[in-house]
Structure 1
């Protein structure tokens, strides 16, 4: 059976170091930017993540691209 993607969505997520525990382990928080155009190239999204990272105080530990789509029969 053939299927195709519909209702594509994309989000940019930045995993940032929020602080440290008393024992010295990093505590993380996730900043999520929804409604990103799914057609944006990975390199462009990574570049934007770097620019956003410079605008805030927390250190960016990881950049995540989260794509989602519904599969329907053709």
Structure 2
């Protein structure tokens, strides 16, 4: 039987630099944008992330796409 994904949700996470630790390692804070249309292409979501990242006062360290889905056999 084929496996299907249902209840797919997508979110966009932008990690921004948020200071340094005592040892000099960069610390990050995460900005999360939920309820993103799961049909959005990776290229379009990256463009949105870069646009939102440009609005941040801190430097962007990483842009992530996260998907969550229920797996069923059917």
For the criterion TM > 0.5, the same-fold answer is yes
Structure 1 residue 2, shift from structure 2 partner: 1.9
Work out whether 1:26 is the aligned partner of 2:17.
no
The residue aligned with 1:14 is 14
State TM-score, norm by structure 2: 0.91
The residue aligned with 1:43 is 43
- SS across alignment from 1:47: helix
The residue aligned with 1:5 is 5
CA distance in 2, matches of 1:69, 1:47: 23
State TM-score, norm by structure 1: 0.91
Mark the runs of 5 or more structure 1 residues left unpaired by the alignment. Answer: none
Mark the runs of 5 or more structure 2 residues left unpaired by the alignment. Answer: none
Size of the aligned set, in residue pairs, is 74
What stretches of structure 1 move > 4 A for 4+ residues in a row? none
